[in-house]
Structure 1
Amino acid sequence: MEYDVVVIGGGAAGLAAGMMSARSRRRVVVVDAGEPRNAPATHIHGFLSRDGVSPAELFETGRAEVVGYGGEVINDRVLAIEHDAENGFVVRLADGPGLSTRGVVVATGLRDELPEVAGVRERWGNDVVHCPYCHGYEVRDSPIGVLGGDNRPFTLHQASLVRQWSSDVVFFPNQITLDAEERERLIARGIRIADGDVVRVVVDGDRLSGVELADGQVIARSAVFVGPRFVPHDDLLTALGCEVGENGWVVTDAMGRTSVPGVWAAGNVVAEGAQVINAAGAGSLAAVALNHYLLAQDVEQAVRDHRAVGGVFSAEMEQRVSELVVGDRRHGLL
């Protein structure tokens, strides 16, 4: 079947793009492999009117809204996006037929590469977290640890930031060697420093209870913030030849347009710091921009069809079409 839009990824960005495309009366399908980044989390926070909802509930609601507006949702994995001279692109699926489409929104997110410390992955999304804006309020005024890792600037910043939510913060440099200035800044901020390699996070029953160092010392903590290395799931975009910036991430404009005509990207696949509400907004913007891109094609095709049957196309009408296209380009929609 031919579509106007294929959205790859069924998280907040992808579902928002799918809903907006469906509301624009486009033939749209969302393809979702069912592996959301925030699946381990029990609640989503900071999302206006949806604060505290579970990720599963948010995505279930989003799928229903896409379908309710006439869109489709397919549970499958996308293997590749291929250029197609006739329609635009063919999206190859693992278990289904290829999807022919005029435009694509890639919203495949990223993966969190966590520190190699025992217990971190098992508690990830519960009491081992990374985003203070997502989880800080829930652990406010409690004993908090911040674990140093490969992402050095992030974890040092994170330690100072987490201090806003609690007066009892311990920074575990782990394998980071702090210089004198870094150490002074942390101490001045009211953060204690626990030197030594971290062996594991200690769990008592079903709750984190502390952080164990290599010398056997256990420092009581009820939550630990870590700094993962963020790795975008951007293989589909780079295989298409989308431009990659100096930071290693695919480049998009403010509306999510990539360097490849007809391909947009939204959410964590191109923005490591995007929270759920930001990702949803980015998906909506990408769908609007893609709709205007398709609109320009629709108008040009209508003109060709009109002329093919001997229709009269006045200079005034031609000027209006030209102004429509130029205006959309000026506003970043084409």
Structure 2
Amino acid sequence: MTLDRPSVFDALVVGGGPAGLSAATWLGRYRSSTLVVDAGRQRNLSADHSHGLLGRDPTTPQELLTDAHAGLEQYPEVMLRHGSVTAVHQSDEGLFRATVDGAAVFAKRMVLATGMRDQLPELAGFHAHYGTDVFHCPACDGYNAREQTVIVLGSGDQLPAYAAELLDWAVAVRMITGTDGESVDDEQRAVLGGQGIEVVDGVAEALVGPPGSLRGVRLAGGRLVEGDQVFFSHGHHPLNVLGHQLGCRLDHEGRIAVDDFQLTSVDGVYAAGDITAGFQLIPVAMGEGTTAGVACATSLRGDSGTSAASRPE
């Protein structure tokens, strides 16, 4: 980017995934001086392809980011920097001071698009298969499991519903219990059995077969549970440290609460993407980022872009 760094940016966007880059694009279109700080750890980078994006289905996560970066080049007001924001606070006058890799950056507005981190299973061969035939998002990748046998790993009360969702595509679903020391109770077994989901007791130990040609999951003790793809649900965690520092209201799952214009409970702070409630899908993140970017830009000229009645309290 060619913009000389201003003493105070109009907006600081934290996170360079689909939500953050969409926000930055629209801030650029409103000619707002914008700094995007991206640590480069988007949760879907391991996936072979991203799906469901109008006009480019499929694409790879890296292609999507590369094209978005190229698009930002037409907006000299926008600067993109690889790095991390480790601390932020708001002055009494409303100005934000952020620490970016040890240096102070000042901005009139902030857009938080820091996303989620998924809890990954401890499974031999996991990283080689992740994104090819091992996934965490049924909505994102379930279509590619159509007419195949799917193995589900995970724990918690939500797991039966998670496994049942995969029946929209898979010809058979098998759920392995005890992957982290927890088991499925009798009530859950009855629900799963009624849906035709096979429950296999044991601890998943390793993936068997090369990436793209998965044969199944080997249990501790040697048994092979056959399957073509694996989906897992061990939990995910909002990256909400900066929102917490700023005093943004969080929901019961730790995600940042926003109004219809992606404005948080803190004046001047917007949030978009997986860090907020709702579907965790790239097209949704792009839409939320667009809303945040436009609302943020218009607020700089005195239009709040929100109503008091809709604000999270």
TM-score of the superposition, structure 1-length normalised? 0.83
With over 3 angstroms needed to count, the CA separation of the structure-2 counterparts of 1:254 and 1:154, relative to structure 1, is: farther
Distance change in 2, residues 1:189/1:217 (3 Å): same
Contact 1:82 1:90 in 2 (8 A): yes
Ranges in structure 1 where 5+ consecutive residues have no aligned partner: 297-323
- The one-character-per-residue Cα deviations of 1:229-263 (angstroms, maximum 9, x if unpaired) are 11111111111222223333332223221121111
Q: Which amino acid aligns with 2:95?
A: G
More helix by share: 1
Structure 2 residue identity aligned to 1:191: I
Q: What are the superposed Cα offsets for residues 106-140 of structure 1, whole Å, 9 maximum, x if unpaired?
A: 11111111233333344222211011221112221
Q: How many residues align?
A: 303
1:11 to 13, 17, 20: 17
Partner of 2:79: 72
1:165 and 2:169 matched: yes
Structure 2 partner of 1:90: 97
Letter in 1 for 2:100: L
Q: Which residue of 2 aligns with 1:153?
A: 157
Deviations 1:272-299 (A, max 9, x none): 7411111111111111222232221xxx
Contact (CA 8 Å) 1:290, 1:333: kept in 2 or not?
Answer: no
1:203 CA drift (Å): 3.1
1:304-324 CA-to-partner distances (Å, cap 9, x unmatched) read xxxxxxxxxxxxxxxxxxxx7
Offset at residue 154 of structure 1 (A): 3.0
Q: Partners in 2 of 1:265 and 1:194 — Cα distance?
A: 41
Structure 2 CA distance, aligned partners of 1:219 and 1:330?
A: 55
Q: In the alignment, is the contact (CA less than 8 A) between 2:89 and 2:245 conserved in 1? A: no
Conserved in 1, the CA contact under 8 Å of 2:264 and 2:311? no
What amino acid sits opposite 2:209 in the alignment? V
Counterpart of 2:84 in structure 1: which amino acid?
R
Q: Is the 8 A contact 1:230 1:272 kept in 2?
A: no
Name the structure 1 match of 2:307.
Answer: 329
> Pick from 213, 217, 223: which aligns with 2:223?
217
* 2:261–2:306 contact (8 Å) kept in structure 1: no
Relative to structure 1, the CA distance from residue 178 to residue 60 in structure 2 (aligned partners, 3 Å threshold; closer, same or farther) is same
Structure 1 residues 333 and 202: CA distance shift in structure 2, 3 A: same
Q: Report the alpha carbon displacement of residue 54 of structure 1 after superposing the two structures with TM.
A: 0.8
Question: Over alpha carbons, which structure has the higher Rg?
Answer: 1
Counterpart of 1:280 in 2: which secondary structure?
helix
What pairs up with 1:21-36 in 2 under 5 angstroms?
A: 21-36=27-42
What does residue range 1-334 of structure 1 map to in structure 2 within 5 Å?
1=6, 2-70=8-76, 71-85=78-92, 88-94=95-101, 97-149=103-155, 152-174=156-178, 175-204=181-210, 207-271=213-277, 273-296=279-302, 328-329=306-307
Q: Deviations over 1:129-154 (max 9, x none)?
A: 011221112221112111132xx133
Alignment-mate amino acid for residue 77 of structure 1? S
For residues 125 and 255 of structure 1, what CA distance do their matches in structure 2 show? 33
Mapped to 1, the partners of 2:260 and 2:236 lie a distance apart of 21
Residue identity opposite 2:248 in structure 1:
C
User: CA–CA distance in 1 between the matches of 2:298 and 2:174?
Assistant: 51
Cα distance 1:118–1:272, how it changes in 2: closer, same or farther (>3 A)? farther
Change (3 A) 1:205 1:103: closer
1:312 match: none
Q: Percent identity?
A: 34
Query: Alignment partner of 1:163: what SS?
Result: helix
Find the aligned partners of 1:331 and 1:69 in 2 and give their Cα distance.
34
> Which stretch of structure 1 is more off in the superposition, 99-108 or 170-179?
170-179
